[in-house]
A and B are shown apart, each in its own frame.
Chain A
Amino acid sequence: MLSIQHLTGGYAGETILKDISFDVHTGELFGILGPNGSGKTTLLKMLSGVIPFSDGTVMIKNKSLKSYTAKELAKTIAVLPQHSSQAFSYTVKETVSLGRYAHQQGWFQSWSSHDETVVQHAMEQTGVAEFENQNIQQLSGGERQRVLLAQALAQEPEILLLDEPTNHLDLSYQKELLDSLRSWTKERDLTVISIFHDLNLAGLYCDRLLLLESGRINLNDSPNKVLCEGRIKEVYRTNIQKQPHPSVPAPQLVLLPEIEPIQDKHVLINDSMLQIEEDYLALRSPIPLRTMSSGLVGSGIGWHQVFVNRHINKKVKYHHNQNDMVLFMKEKGFEPDETVGMMTSVLIKNASIQFIKEPGFSVLIVVTAGIENATDVSRGSEHTFQLSAGTINIWVFVNAHLTEGAFIQSMMTVTEAKTKAMYDLEVTDKKTGTIATGTPTDSILIAATQNGQKLNCAGTTTPLGNLVGKGVYECTVQAIKNNQSS
């Protein structure tokens, strides 16, 4: 559809783009990225024929851009510029109708019913039909942007060029616009070339990305390859971190602020912070902790400040109810969004607590263990699933900086330590009579201050793994014994 070879040029006396070559295929959603001043807008203006280029070729549908007349070009390419000015108060419909200019022939260009249909359709697609008789100067920035998009669509183009189309739009319209662009590329083979400032939007929607760096192509590839942490850090000269999108396989980059949130670097989570009550065990951290957990509330990966293990009387009919837990937290003054919450039938006083120090880091371990429902993991299918309160809840607070890998290894180490404790105490699965490995409702919390020493792994032979493994083993044994003896 579009083929650019060795494109070079810029404004009078200043070469901005140097030797740019790339192809865009029909029906592609092609994103152009680059820091300010890298030549994105200049490139777009050259493709739309507004500024001339000094060297190279631009072929549109196998025909040189320079051999197009203004009208021919307008029937092939429509442009939605970043800035637009409206000096006079045209109505929305008059504005959109101007898009038909190139399609009308002769001196007495008559307005055909086809023109009318196209204009109406364009206004409906962009959601501006409802105010077709309003004055564009009275519309909001986002509405005006949509009117101009309708105008561009009224040109019935095969290629749509956009310069930061989401600039003036609020969140819902950003999504709507990009969803529309994507569906038009797929359904109608519209080719879309768009400049993006927002790398994450580009990563989510584009088929291919072109990364410009000071007028040259840095990379032209799939979003996942272009949005690579090291590359973006280097080109944009800033600190970012890449992470996966939570629900779509697309890369997302997050900024890392230079000035970290003001928080005490010397916070040490230890047993003195534990609050032990009749019906719950809580720990309130002075700073948010990075957590990975399987609690009833606040599970998954996140940042949490409050940790609650609630005692439920096992004689009371046990409801595994999240809302009930949230109500309980609110009643006790814990903010549910900041809290990781678990439940146990074990008496809180039977919890086993250890604070262990190593040079460079320290760990607080808290375990409550009820083993009425102990189960052999290899024979789980012989149990009917039934939620009850006999459960082992393990909390591990690490005063150090853990990587995501270290979090997952900690989880594994904790699980292995728990299983070893059950094995040594010969806890059996009542149904099968074999040694149990845990209970069906066990929960684990790993929380780290993310201050101090950086720990990359927590395998069983690493310093952290050692500490966690031994600590969890001892605490679990102790907690089971406490519970059995009471």
Chain B
Amino acid sequence: MQKRFTQTFLTNKTTAYILAAIFLIMAMLMGISIGTVSVPIFDIFRIIGANIFHLQLDESINPMHSNIVMNIRLPRVILAGLVGASLAIAGASFQGLLRNPLADPYTLGVSSGASVGAVITLFFGVSLPFAGLFTLPLLSIIFAFLTIIIVLIFARRIDRGMKVETIILTGIIFSSFLGALISLMIALTGDEIRQIIGWLLGSVSMRGWEYIQIILPFFLVGSLLLLINGRELNAMSFGEEKAQHIGVNVQRRKMLVLIAGSILSGAAVAVSGTIGFVGLVIPHLTRLLWGPDHRHLLPLSLLTGSGFLVLADLLARTIITPTELPIGVITSIIGAPVFAIILMNRRTESRG
């Protein structure tokens, strides 16, 4: 009996990983294949294979296809995937840490904080010595981290119990304030508004491999830090005091999670602008499907979030061709109603 339970348990989780991986691969293939120029899926494998192993490309493949895949669509899909993965895993861990299913880099104001950092870098041409290319993500991450710390201190001042709603309300207040600050900075620089708004709403278009280089190290470090804290997040989702009773070094683990979450959301914002609700919707969906255990929730959210953003980006660039929608429009159209539904479910739960 016990054994059978463990087996089904394992198979359940294995199924979850297999399904999430298939979803991601399918999303990537669709992302690369579909567009104004359609690339056959089989060709995609051959083009990527040839490039990885430095083989001579098959004569039968259109060199334009190769160009589109390698220089436009593949980096775009990978970037979207990395951004989605970062936001989803960051959201999942913020939710666990704050015991708050509504937390997400966007609702907590972390994305806006990171945007301030990014805007300062982009529009004032700040460049940190030694950081070079990484000035943008570093400043974004620092601002993201500062924002989450201020939001949490502020929320604790309002309500020692740090109720879910208090944290979210504080996050939204900070979000609006920082958003206004960004608009002010942009107005003062006098640049073209449309382009900047496009950036603010989030986009992964026309970034190329350079941006992947920017986000990748931060993605790896941040995700690894979170993945090894799965059990601690499980404990902390029962409350910090309870986690300490169980034996978790709460102060250190909490800092680690906050820093890792800020690294991921800061880096994501730096390369793609503020893309909302990915960190809210994906962990919520994953939790509904496979349970709240963070040891699985984090990696599954990572895979699913990555696939989700690739599909969202595909939708954003194909839905009203030839014009491209900012990807944040798509995620918000899906995310905001989900946010509302979670809020309503919480109300009924606390009433019952």
Instruction: Give A contacts to B, CB under 8 Å.
Output: 45, 48-50, 69-71, 73-75, 77-79, 81, 84-91, 94-95, 98-99, 101-102, 104, 107, 109, 116, 137, 151-152, 155
Contacts and interface: CB of A to CB of B under 8 A. Distances in A.
B179 interface: no
Given A88-B292, A90-B292, A98 B244 contact: no
Nearest to A91: B291
Contacts of B2: 116
Contacts of A109: 231
Interface stretch (B25-33, B131-139, B246-254, B321-329): B246-254
A81 B99 contact: no
A2 to B, nearest CB: 16
A107 to B, nearest CB: 6
Contact of B349 (A95, A104, A137): A137
Interface in B211-247: 228, 231, 234-235, 237-239, 241-242, 244-247
Contacts of A75: 247
Contacts of B261: none
Given A79-B245, A137-B349, A101 B231 contact: yes
Contacts of A49: 244
Nearest to B5: A133
B293 interface: yes
Nearest to A83: B239
Contacts of A79: 242, 245
B287 interface: yes
Given A50-B245, A102-B247, 4 more contacts: A48-B244, A74-B246, A98-B231, A98-B234
Contacts of A155: 246-247
Contact of A101 (B100, B246, B292): B246
A149 to B, nearest CB: 12
A90 B248 CA distance: 18
B248 A70 contact: yes
A50 B237 CA distance: 17
A81 B237 contact: no
A118 to B, nearest CB: 14
Contact of A85 (B235, B238, B246): B238
Interface in B276-316: 287, 291-293
9 contacts: A74-B246, A84-B242, A89-B287, A89-B291, A90-B291, A101-B246, A137-B349, A155-B246, A155-B247
Contacts of A69: 249
B238 A98 contact: yes
Give the secondary structure class of A's interface. Answer: mixed
Contacts of A77: 245
B287 A88 contact: yes
Nearest to A104: B231
A87 B237 contact: yes
A85 B239 contact: yes
B101 interface: yes
Interface of B: 2, 96, 99-101, 164, 228, 231, 234-235, 237-239, 241-242, 244-250, 287, 291-293, 349
B351 to A, nearest CB: 14
Contacts of B241: 45, 50, 81
Contacts of A50: 241, 244-245
Contacts of B237: 87-88, 90
Contacts of A85: 99, 238-239
A155 B243 CA distance: 12
B238 A84 contact: yes
A206 to B, nearest CB: 22
Contacts of B244: 48-50, 70
A408 B172 CA distance: 74
Nearest to A100: B246
B247 A74 contact: yes
B246 A98 contact: yes
Max chain B C-beta neighbours (<10 A), residue from A87, A116, A151, A155:
A87
Rank and list the top 8 A-B pairs by shortest CB-CB distance, nearest first: A74-B247, A102-B247, A87-B99, A88-B292, A79-B245, A71-B247, A70-B249, A101-B246
Contacts of B228: 107
A87 B101 contact: yes
Nearest to B292: A88
B221 to A, nearest CB: 16
Nearest to A74: B247
B100 A87 contact: yes
Contacts of B164: 87
A70 B250 contact: yes
Max chain A C-beta neighbours (<10 A), residue from B164, B244, B287:
B244
Contacts of B291: 89-91, 94
Max chain A C-beta neighbours (<10 A), residue from B2, B248, B249:
B248
A231 to B, nearest CB: 32
Max chain A C-beta neighbours (<10 A), residue from B99, B239, B246, B292:
B246
A98 B230 CA distance: 11
A68 B101 CA distance: 33
A307 B38 CA distance: 101
Contacts of B96: 88
A116 B9 CA distance: 14
B89 to A, nearest CB: 16
A99 B244 CA distance: 11
A87 B244 CA distance: 17
Nearest to A89: B292
Given A50-B244, A87-B99, A155-B246, A101 B239 contact: no
Contacts of B235: 98, 101
A90 B326 CA distance: 37
A107 B234 CA distance: 15
A86 B242 CA distance: 11
Contacts of A94: 234, 291-293
A402 B180 CA distance: 80
Contacts of B239: 84-85
A101 B293 contact: no
A295 B190 CA distance: 102
Nearest to B239: A85
A168 to B, nearest CB: 16
A50 B249 CA distance: 11
Max chain A C-beta neighbours (<10 A), residue from B2, B234, B250:
B234
A447 B293 CA distance: 66
Contacts of B234: 90, 94, 98
Given A85-B239, A89-B292, A90-B293, A48 B245 contact: yes
A48 B101 CA distance: 29
B101 A101 contact: no
B293 A102 contact: no
Contacts of B247: 70-71, 73-75, 101-102, 155
A256 B247 CA distance: 45
Contacts of A84: 238-239, 242
A192 B186 CA distance: 63
B231 A88 contact: no
Contacts of B250: 70
Nearest to B96: A88
Nearest to B232: A101
Contacts of B231: 98, 101, 104, 109
A327 B248 CA distance: 66
A87 B228 CA distance: 21
Contacts of A151: 246
B249 to A, nearest CB: 5
A109 B295 CA distance: 11
A109 B248 CA distance: 14
Max chain A C-beta neighbours (<10 A), residue from B2, B238, B249, B250:
B238
